[in-house]
A and B are shown apart, each in its own frame.
Chain A
Amino acid sequence: MINITINGLAVSVENGSTILEAARFLGFPIPTLCHHEGLTPYGACRLCVVEIGEGPGARLVSSCTYPVEEGLKVRTASERVVRARRMIIELLLASCPQSKVIQDLASAHGVRTQRFKQEYEDCVLCGLCVRMCSEQMMAGAIGFRGRGEERSIGTPFDVQSEVCRFCGGCMHVCPACQLRCTYNQPEKAVCNACANLAPPCIEKEQYGDMMCYMNPCVACEIK
C-alpha cells in the first residue's frame, strides 16, 4: 500500500494504481474523456488534470496516467485545476461542439462560452476507438494516421479494412460520433447529424453499412 494525501485526506491506496483510480475509489470525482476502464490509459484529452506537489513545485498532471507514489499530495479541485479543466472543455467545444458528451461536460462544469475559432470536427483524437479496436476487439482495424494538424483516425490507406469485425465497438466508445452511431435501429435513434430530412441511414438494411470508418455515408460528412 502507498500513502498519499488527496484533498487533504491522508489515505493509503493500492500500489500500482493511478491517481484517477485512487481518487475515484475514494469518491473524489475527476472528469475524464479519453479514459475507459477496460482500456489502457492514454492521456490524450488532459481533462483529468489534478495538481500534485506543493508550493512553487506544484504542477498539473493527467491523473489517468500518473501512478501513485509514496507521500504524493494531490488536489483534484484546486482553483488551478478547475481553471485548466474548464479551458480544456472550452477547447473541446471549439473543435467538436456537436458532441453530446462534450456538451454535457460543458454544462456540468459551467462552461457557457467558447472564445476560440469554432470548428466542427468529427473527432477529438481521444484514441478510444483505436484502443477499443485493438485491445478489446483484437482487430486492429483502425489507427492514428499522420501527425500534427493532419492527424486523423481511420483505416490504413483509407480503404475498407479486411480485418474489421463490424462490431461497432469503435463507435460505441466514441465521444464525438456517439450520437450518430450508437444504434442499430436507426428509426429509433436517428441522430440527424447530417441535417438531412431523409437520413440515408434509415434506408440501409444492414448495420455494417453504417460503419462510418469503412463506408462513410456522404451525409455523415457534416462540416
Chain B
Amino acid sequence: MDTKGILEIIQRNGKNHAGIIAILEEIQEECSYLPEEALRLVARETGRSLADIYGVATFYKAFSLKPKGRHCISACLGTACHVRGAQKIVEEFSQELGIKPGETTPDNEITFETVNCLGACALGPIVVSDGHYFANVTARKVGEILRDTREGTFDSDVSQEAHPFLIEVSCPRCGRSLMDSGTSLHGHPSILITASMNGKTGWARIPSLYGHFSRTHEHDFPADTIIQLSCPHCASSFQDGSRCVDCGAPLATMRLADNSGVFRICTRTGCDGHLLDIGRAEL
C-alpha cells in the first residue's frame, strides 16, 4: 500500500486520538502488518508523537509490526482452553510448522499465534484459522486444520468446517424457538426475530453460525439508531438492561436452546456487537 492510501485511511477516520486504533486496524487490514513508514505517517497526520503511536501499536496483540503470512492461525491459550490441553495443540502446531508461536513460516504462507481468550471458553480448546473457528480441537486435528488452511477448503462453504460453531436460540420469556429453517444463511437455519422502531415493525434475521455475525431487516432503519428487538411469538422485548461493550447501546438477549447460556446482540443499527455468554442462564 502506498502513502496515498494510508493518508486516505487517516483522513477518513478523523484526526482525533480516539481514532488511532481504528486507523491502525485499517492499515493492518490493508497491508497485513503495520509498516514503520505508516506509523510515522499516522503520527505526523494525527499530531501525536511517534512514541505514542508506537506504544499503541506494540500494546495490542492484534497489531503486528512484522509482515504476516498469507494465512493466520491463532490458538487460544486462555485459562479454559489451557486446562483443556491447548498447550499440547500449540506445541503440535509449532512442530508441524517448524516455527514458534508469533512467527511466520519461511515461505510466508502461515503465521501462527497464540491468543489469550477468544471469548467462547465452553467450546475450547479453540483454534481460529483465517476467521474460521474450530472448536474442541485436539492435537490429532492439527494436521487437518493445517490442510484446510493451506488449501482454503473452508473458504467456499463455511458449513464444511470441521466443527461448525452453531447456536440455537429461543425466547427467554416464552421459551419458543427462534430458529427459522425456511431461510438458511451460510447453509444453516437462520435466527428470526421481530424488529421495530417508530411504529414500523418487521423481521430481523441473523445467521446461526457464530463468528459470522450480520443482521438484515425487513425495513430500512436509519443507521445508528436503537431498534426494539422482540420475540415473534410472545412479542416480549429482548432488552434486559445489559449494554453493548462496543457502543454502549442496550443489548437484546436470547437464550441458547439447550439452556447453557445466552446470546446477546446490540440493538443499534450498524453495530455488529454480539456475544455468547456460556454458563449464564439466570434469566
Interface residues of A (CB under 8 A from B): 130, 133-134, 139-147, 155-157, 161, 163
- Which residues of the partner chain A approach B49 to less than 8 Å between Cβ atoms? 134, 139-141, 143, 163
Q: Beta-carbon contacts of B37-50 to A below 8 Å, as 1s and 0s?
A: 00100000000111
Cα distance A140–B50 when bound, in Å?
Answer: 8
Q: Which residue of A lies closest to B61 (CB)?
A: A147
- Which residues of the partner chain A approach B53 to less than 8 Å between Cβ atoms? 156
B182 within 8 A of partner (CB): no
Contact of B59 among A130, A146, A155 (CB under 8 A): A146
Interface residues of B (CB under 8 A from A): 36, 39, 48-55, 58-61
Cα distance A130–B61 when bound, in Å?
Answer: 22
Q: Please give the distance in Å from A142's CB to the nearest CB on chain B.
A: 6
Q: Which residue of A lies closest to B50 (CB)?
A: A156
Chain B at the A interface: SS class: helix
Q: Please give the distance in Å from B79's CB to the nearest CB on chain A.
A: 15
Q: Which residue of A lies closest to B51 (CB)?
A: A143
Q: Please give the distance in Å from A143's CB to the nearest CB on chain B.
A: 3
A-B contact pairs, 10 of them (CB 8 A): A133-B51, A134-B49, A140-B49, A141-B51, A142-B51, A143-B54, A145-B58, A156-B53, A157-B36, A161-B51
- Which residues of the partner chain B approach A143 to less than 8 Å between Cβ atoms? 49, 51-52, 54-55
Q: Can you add 5 more A-B contacts, CB < 8 Å, to A140-B52, A146-B59, A155-B51?
A: A130-B51, A134-B49, A139-B49, A143-B49, A144-B59
Q: Please give the distance in Å from B22's CB to the nearest CB on chain A.
A: 19
Q: Please give the distance in Å from B84's CB to the nearest CB on chain A.
A: 23
- Which residues of the partner chain B approach A146 to less than 8 Å between Cβ atoms? 58-59
B59 near A147 (CB under 8 angstroms)?
Answer: yes
- Which residues of the partner chain B approach A161 to less than 8 Å between Cβ atoms? 51
Q: Which residue of B lies closest to A134 (CB)?
A: B49
A156 near B54 (CB under 8 angstroms)?
Answer: yes
- Which residues of the partner chain B approach A157 to less than 8 Å between Cβ atoms? 36, 54
Cα distance A143–B55 when bound, in Å?
Answer: 6
Cα distance A155–B247 when bound, in Å?
Answer: 34
Pairs A-B, 4 closest by C-beta atoms: A140-B49, A143-B51, A156-B54, A143-B55
Cα distance A156–B48 when bound, in Å?
Answer: 13
A147 near B58 (CB under 8 angstroms)?
Answer: yes
Contact of A140 among B51, B58, B60 (CB under 8 A): B51
- Which residues of the partner chain A approach B61 to less than 8 Å between Cβ atoms? 147
Cα distance A163–B36 when bound, in Å?
Answer: 16
Q: Which residue of B lies closest to A152 (CB)?
A: B58
Contact of B55 among A139, A145, A163 (CB under 8 A): A145
Cα distance A113–B49 when bound, in Å?
Answer: 41
Cα distance A133–B58 when bound, in Å?
Answer: 20
- Which residues of the partner chain B approach A133 to less than 8 Å between Cβ atoms? 51
Q: Which residue of A lies closest to B36 (CB)?
A: A157
- Which residues of the partner chain B approach A155 to less than 8 Å between Cβ atoms? 51
Q: Please give the distance in Å from B272's CB to the nearest CB on chain A.
A: 26
A156 near B51 (CB under 8 angstroms)?
Answer: yes
- Which residues of the partner chain B approach A134 to less than 8 Å between Cβ atoms? 49, 51-52
Cα distance A146–B57 when bound, in Å?
Answer: 8
Q: Please give the distance in Å from A140's CB to the nearest CB on chain B.
A: 3
A144 near B55 (CB under 8 angstroms)?
Answer: yes
Cα distance A156–B40 when bound, in Å?
Answer: 10
- Which residues of the partner chain B approach A140 to less than 8 Å between Cβ atoms? 48-52
Q: Please give the distance in Å from A133's CB to the nearest CB on chain B.
A: 8
Cα distance A194–B142 when bound, in Å?
Answer: 49
Q: Which residue of A lies closest to B40 (CB)?
A: A156
Cα distance A140–B52 when bound, in Å?
Answer: 8
Cα distance A91–B203 when bound, in Å?
Answer: 59
Q: Max chain A CB contacts within 10 Å: which of B39, B53, B55, B59? A: B55
A156 near B59 (CB under 8 angstroms)?
Answer: no
Cα distance A130–B50 when bound, in Å?
Answer: 13
Cα distance A6–B212 when bound, in Å?
Answer: 55
Q: Max chain A CB contacts within 10 Å: which of B36, B39, B54, B60? A: B54
- Which residues of the partner chain B approach A147 to less than 8 Å between Cβ atoms? 58-61
